[in-house]
Amino acid sequence: MILLALFLTGVAAGILGAVLGLGGGMFLVPALTLFFHLPVRTAVACSIVGVLATSAGAIAFAPRGRGADVELALRLEIATTAGALAGSLAAGLLSSGALSVLFAVVAFFNAGYTAYKARRRPVHAPPEALFTRDYRPRRWGIGLSASALAGMLSGLLGIGGGIIKVPVMYSVMEVPLGVATATSNFMVGITAAVSALVYYLRGDIYPMITIPIALGVFAGATAGVWLLTRLRVGWVRAALIGLLIVMGVQMLLRGFSVL
Do 79 and 42 contact (CB within 8 A), yes or no? no
The per-residue pLDDT for 166 is 81
Query: Domain locations in the chain?
Result: 2-258
**Predicted local distance difference test score (pLDDT) of residue 25:** 64
What pLDDT is attached to residue 62? 64
Q: Which of 205, 186, 189, 242 is closest to 66 using CA atoms?
A: 186
pTM of the model: 0.66
pLDDT value for 120: 67
Amino acid 185: pLDDT: 77
Cα angle 148, 182, 232 (rounded to 5 degrees) comes to 125
pLDDT at 128: 65
**Residue 129: predicted pLDDT:** 67
State the number of CA atoms in the 13 A half-sphere of 131 facing the CB: 17
Look at residue 235 in the predicted model and tell me its pLDDT: 79
| C-beta of residue 188 within 8 angstroms of C-beta of residue 55 | yes
Q: Chunk the chain into consecutive blocks of 10 residues (it has 259) and report each block's average pLDDT, rounded to whole numbers.
A: 86 80 70 81 79 69 68 84 73 68 79 76 61 82 83 66 78 83 78 74 80 84 77 78 81 75
Residue 122 is predicted with a pLDDT of 60
